[in-house]
Amino acid sequence: MDFILTEIAFDRDNIPWNGNRFLIGNGYFGIRGTLEEYTKENMCAVNMAGIYDRAGDAWRETVNAPNPLYTYVKVNGKKYALPENEPVSHEQTLDFEKGLHSRKTVWQTEDGRITVKCERFASMSRRHLISMRYTFAADFECDAEIITGIDGDVWDINGPHFVKFNSGSEDGVNYVEGITGEKHISVTARDSVKLDFDAECSGDVCEKAVYRRIVFKAEPHKEYCIEKIAEITTSEDDFEPIGDIRDITYQELKAEHTAAWEKIWDISKITIDGDDDAMYALNYSIYHLNCIAPREMKGKSIAARGLSGQVYKGAVFWDTEMFMIDYYIYTEPQIAKTLLQYRIDTLDGARQKAKEYGLKGAYYAWESQDGGYEGCSDYNVTDVFTKRPMRTYFRDKQYHVSAAIVYGLMKYIKGTGDYDILNEGAMEMVIECAEFYRSLLIKKADERYYEIHDVVGPDEYHERVNNNSYTNRMAKFVFDTALELMEKYTSDEYNSLKPMLQDSAENIFIRQPNDSGIIEQFDGYFRLEDVSVDEVRSRLIDPKEYWGGAYGVAADTQVIKQADVVAMLSMFKDDYASEIMEKNLEYYEPRTEHGSSLSACMYSLLSCYTNNPKTAYPMFMKSARADLTKGGKEWAGLVYIGGTHPASAGGAWIAAVKGFAGITEEDGKLICKPNLPEKWNGMRFKLIYKNKLYLIEVQNNSGAVMII
Ligand code: BGC
C-alpha cells in the first residue's frame, strides 16, 4: 500500500493542522507542512531540536531557524500566492515512505493559467540540509518572476528570539544568520540555487532576509525549474555539515535521502493484513517518530510536540520515556540511549529542582529544556475569562516524572541488555530518583505506611491530591529498581542506603482494589461528584475553558483528563488479576475525557492485556490517527497546544506491538502472545532485541518469533 497523505483543494482553515500533519523532519529540525510562500502569519517554521532561548520575561522555548524555503511567483507583475489568491486547484501531498513533501497549485490569471509545483525534503542523510525543486509553468506567454530567499522574520510563540541578524551573499551562497537574545546562539540558513533555464538573476539583501529574483520570459506550457539546496547550522552543533551546498545536486541528495528512509523502513515498517486503515495510520505514526529521532546527535531528547513548533515550549516531558522510547528501543536502540543520555546529562538540573522544593535527590523538570532547566511556569494556563495566568501545580507536584525516567531506563536495559549504561551515569540517576521519592514520604503517627501527599498524578485535572495510586506505585518501582540494581551491579558503595530503601519499598502505601475491584485514583476520589464527561462538558461556559485547577469544571467531579489508574495497571499488569484490570477499565473509561493524547493508547494496551481487542481497537485507532484527525484539542485555556503528538504515535506502536501482537519478554526471550482485532488476519514486523534482529509473524492469533 502507498504511504501517501494527500489533501485535494485548498482550505484555509486547515493551515495550522496541515502544518502538523504534513511535517517533514530529520531529528535536527522539523519543517512544518506549510507552503513555500507562507510566512510567520501562517505558522511557517523550521523548528530546531533542543535549541532554546528566552525573550524577555516570556516562556523559554525552542528557536525557529530563518526559513530558506521562502518562495513565490509573479506573473506579469502580479504576485500569486496562497492563502491570498484563491486557486483553481490545489493539492498537498506527503509521501511518508520517502519523507517527501509536495504541492501543486493552479491559479487563473487574467491571461491564462499558471501552475506551481514544489517537492522538498529534510535530508535524512545529511542532517543540516533541506532541498527543494520548484517548478513554474504557464499556458500562455508571460513575464515571470520567481522570488526565492531566506526569511528571517520567523514565527514565534514567545519571541522574538533573534535580536540581531547578519544577512548577505558570498560566492553564490546567500545567508541569513539570526542571533538569539538570551544565549547569543547563532542560527544560520544558507542557500544555493540552480536553474535549468536562462533568466536574469539579481538579489536583495535586507536586514532579516535575502532574496533572489529570477526574471524570465515564460513560453507557454514549458516548465521552468529551480533547485535549491539549503543548509541550517547553529553555534550549538556538535556535528559538522557534510559537503558544500554548491556541489550537490537535488537528485543526488534525494537519492541519498530516500535510501536513508528505505533503511529506516526496513526495520520499522509494520504490515497488517486485513486492515489497511490501521496499517496506514500506524506507519504514519512511525513516520513521525522517525522525523523527530535525535539520530547521531548527543545530549538531545524529544519534545512533547516533536519538531512541529514551539508549543509546550519545545520541552521534554515524561511522554518520551513512557510513550516514545519503546519504539526506539526495539528499532534503533542507539536513539533510545541518546534519549536516556539526555536525562543523565541533566541530572544536575534535577538535583537543583529537588533542592528548590526542599527535597532530596533528583526531581526532573516537568517541562525539561537544555541542562534540565524547568520550562514549566507556576502559571501554566491562561484563564479564558480573566485573561490572567492561572496558578497550576504541574511544575511543583507532578512528582511522577522522575519515576517515568527510571521506568524508561529499565525498559531500555531489558530490551537491549545494555547494562553498561549503569556505569555511564544511569546508576547514579536511579539512586538520586530513589532519594527523591524517599524525601517525599510521610508517615502519620501510629501508622505503618508511608504516604505521598499533595500530588498531581497523570490526570492533571485533580491537583494537590494525596496518595495518587499511580504515583505511589511508581515510587515503589523506583525503590525496588534501585535495590535490585545495587544488589546486582554495584559493590558496597550504596550499602548504607539499602536498609532505608528496603523500608521505603516495603512500607509505601499501595492502594488495593476496593470490594468492587476498583482502585481509587487518590484519597477521596470516590467522594467526588460522579457525573458523565458529557455532563461536565455541558457546564463549560467557553469551549477553551480549562477543565482542571482550582475552579475547573472537572475538579470536583470524578471526570479525569487521561489514563491514571489504567496507566498504572498497564505498567504493572503482572501484579493484578485480569478481572481487576477489566473492572477498572470499565469504571474509568466512561469517566475519562481523553483530553490528553496520551490517554487512549493506555486504555488500548490494558484492553489487550485483558484479552479484549475489540475494545482496544478504537482506542488504538484514536492514538494512531491523532495527527490525521482534525479537531484535536488545540487550547488549554488561552494557551495554544496544537502540534504533532509523538507520544500518541509511540503509544499506538506500543498498543500494536505489545498489545495486539502481544510481544513480551519471558526468561530473557522474546515471546509473542497475540490478541489481534477481528479483522486483522496477521501482522509482520521486525524488532531488535538484545542486539539481534527478529522477524515477528503473527497469524490467526498464533505468533512466531524468528531471528533473522
Ligand atoms: C498531559 C501531560 C503531557 C503533556 C505533554 C498534557 O496535556 O496532561 O500528561 O505530558 O500534555 O504531552
pLDDT digits over 448-482, tens only?
999 999 999 999 999 999 999 999 999 999 999 99
Query: Treating both helix axes as pointing N-terminal to C-terminal, what angle do 400-416 and 469-489 enclose, rounded to 10 degrees?
Result: 50
C-alpha cell at 99: 519523507
**Is the model's pLDDT at 637 over the cut of 80?**
no
Site to substitute for ligand 1 among 318, 598, 627, most atoms within 8 A of C-beta: 598
Q: How confident is the model at residue 41 (pLDDT cuts 50, 70, 90)?
A: very high
Probe residue for ligand 1, chosen from 310, 313, 405, 460 as the CB with the greatest number of ligand atoms within 8 Å: 460
Torsion of CA 273, 275, 278, 280, to 10 degrees: 70
pLDDT in tens, 312-325: 999 999 999 999 99
Considering only CA atoms, which of 630, 512, 614 is closest in space to residue 568? 512
Is 89 within 8 Å of 70 (Cβ atoms)? no
Average pLDDT, stretch 483-488?
A: 94
Identify the pLDDT of residue 502. Answer: 97
Write the single-letter amino acid at 696: I
Average pLDDT, the chain: 96
What integer pLDDT is reported at residue 189 of this predicted model?
98
**Which atom of ligand 1 is nearest the CA belonging to 459?**
8
Task: Look at residue 246 in the predicted model and tell me its pLDDT.
Answer: 97
Q: What is the pLDDT of residue 704?
A: 84
- Is 286 exposed, middle or buried (CB count within 10 Å of its CB: 0-12, 13-18, 19+)? buried
Whole-number pLDDT of residue 635 = 74
pLDDT tier for residue 284 given thresholds of 50, 70 and 90 = very high
Ligand 1 atom with the smallest distance to the CA of 647 is 12
- The pLDDT score that the predictor gives to residue 640 is 77
Average pLDDT over residues 55-78: 97
460 has catalytic annotation: yes
Among protein residues, the one with the nearest Cα to ligand 1's atom 1 is 596
d(CA 408, CA 415): 11
- % of the chain exceeding 90 in pLDDT: 93
Q: Is the pLDDT of residue 336 over 90?
A: yes
pLDDT at 394 over 90: yes
pLDDT bracket for residue 641 (50, 70, 90): confident
Mean pLDDT within 165-183: 97
For residue 399, is pLDDT > 80? yes
Q: Which residues line ligand 1 (CB under 6 A)?
A: 304, 312, 317-319, 458, 460, 561-562, 596, 598, 647
| pLDDT at res. 617 | 98
Across the range 536-541, mean pLDDT stands at 97
| Contact assessment for residue 660 and residue 653, using Cβ atoms and an 8 Å cutoff | no
The minimum-distance atom of ligand 1 relative to the CA of 645 is 12
The confidence band for 638, taking pLDDT boundaries of 50, 70 and 90, is: confident
pLDDT confidence bin for 498, thresholds 50/70/90:
very high
Mutate to test the pocket of ligand 1, among 305, 310, 319 (most ligand atoms within 8 A of CB): 319
Q: What is the mean pLDDT of residues 676-681?
A: 96
On the question of pLDDT at 631 being above 90, the answer is no
Confidence of residue 540 (pLDDT cuts 50, 70, 90): very high
Q: How confident is the model at residue 701 (pLDDT cuts 50, 70, 90)?
A: confident
How far is 587 from 50, CA to CA, in rounded Å?
40
Residue whose CA lies nearest to ligand 1 atom number 5: 304
Q: Exposed, middle or buried: residue 158 (CB in 10 Å: 0-12, 13-18, 19+)?
A: middle
Confidence of residue 491 (pLDDT cuts 50, 70, 90): confident
Q: Which atom of ligand 1 is nearest to the CA of 317?
A: 10
Rounded to 5 degrees, φ, ψ at 19 are: -55, -35
Cell readout for 505 is: 519499598
Task: Please say whether the beta carbons of 698 and 685 come within 8 A.
Answer: no
Q: What is the pLDDT of residue 636?
A: 73
Residue 334 pLDDT greater than 80, yes or no = yes
Name the closest-CA residue to atom 6, ligand 1. 596
Give the single-character DSSP code of 577: -
Residue with cell 491559479: 107
Amino acid at 467: N
Nearest CA to ligand 1 atom 9: 458
541 forms beta bridges with none
Q: Which three cell numbers stand for residue 396?
A: 511543583
CA atoms within 13 A on the CB side of 593: 27
Question: Of 202, 80, 204, 206, which Cα lies nearest the Cα of 138?
Answer: 80
Percentage of the chain modeled with pLDDT above 70: 100
For residue 257, the surrounding DSSP H or E stretch is helix 250-268
Distances (CA, A) of 221 to 45, 118, 195, 224, 361: 33, 17, 17, 10, 69
Residues 6+ positions from 456 with CB-CB distance below 8 Å: 393, 394, 397, 398, 399, 462, 463, 464, 465, 468
Distance 574 CA to ligand 1 centre (A): 26
Judged against a pLDDT cut of 90, whether residue 493 lies above it is answered with: no
Q: How far is the CA of 320 from the centre of ligand 1 (A)?
A: 11
**Catalytic residue chosen out of the listed positions 97, 227, 432, 460:** 460
Helix (H) / strand (E) element for 356: namely helix 347-356
Q: Tell me, what's the pLDDT at 633?
A: 76
SS3 state of residue 41: helix
Angle at 587 between CA 582 and CA 592, to 5 degrees: 115
Above 80 in pLDDT, residue 700?
Answer: no
Q: Is the pLDDT of residue 54 over 90?
A: yes
Helix, strand and coil percent figures for the chain, each rounded to 5:
35, 25, 40
Kindly give the distance from the C-alpha atom of residue 595 to the centroid of ligand 1, in angstroms, as a whole number: 9
Ligand 1 atom closest to Cα of residue 562: 8
Using the predicted structure, report yes or no on whether residue 4 has a pLDDT greater than 80.
yes
3-state secondary structure 626-691: CCCCCCCCCEEECEECCCCCHHHHHHHHHHHHHHHCCEEEECCEEEECCCCCCCCCEEEEEEEECC
Residue 120 is predicted with a pLDDT of: 98
Residues 6+ apart with CB under 8 A from 599: 561, 562, 563, 592, 593
What is the pTM for the complete model shown? 0.97
Query: How open is the CA angle 305-122-649, to the nearest 5 degrees?
Result: 35
Q: Please state, in angstroms and rounded to a whole number, the distance separating the CA atoms of residues 439 and 350.
A: 14
Please say whether the beta carbons of 416 and 333 come within 8 A.
yes
**Structure confidence at residue 653 (pLDDT):** 98
pLDDT higher than threshold 80 for residue 648? yes
Please give the single-letter amino acid code of residue 674. P
